Amino acid sequence: MEKGLCDFLKFEQPYLQQVICRDEIDLAIIDILLGAGSEGMLPKDIAARLASYKVSRWHVSRRLVRMNNRLKEEIGRNVAEKRGWKWAVTSFMNENWRSTQEEVVCLRKNYQE
């Protein structure tokens, strides 16, 4: 049902985080990509920012692919997409990761009317 209504719903950050992230490294990758904007970042630059976790650029790419698979399985959307050699968050993630509870409640009220 969520897949069919995905275009009309805004998903809360805690829900998306529960579906997408398996640990704090996944969460850190998303935060870095959200800060990078629409142009995205190279996996090696993301890995450099995560030096304390000791991840390589290959690990960053694999984690992004896994996060995409988890979200695609749940609601049919991607977390990030490749733009040339760089990864960037999708517009879906950009809108929904930053949505607040008030926006979700307002949207539901408008949908029920």
CA distances from 22 to 5, 73, 113 (A): 25, 15, 37
Cβ-contact 100, 56 below 8 angstroms: no
CA distances from 3 to 71, 92, 103 (A): 11, 13, 20
Ramachandran region of residue 54, left (φ > 0), alpha (ψ -120 to 50) or beta? left
> Which pLDDT does position 7 carry in this prediction?
55
Q: List the chain residues with pLDDT less than 70.
A: 1-9, 99-113
How is residue 90 written in tokens?
A: 């999708």
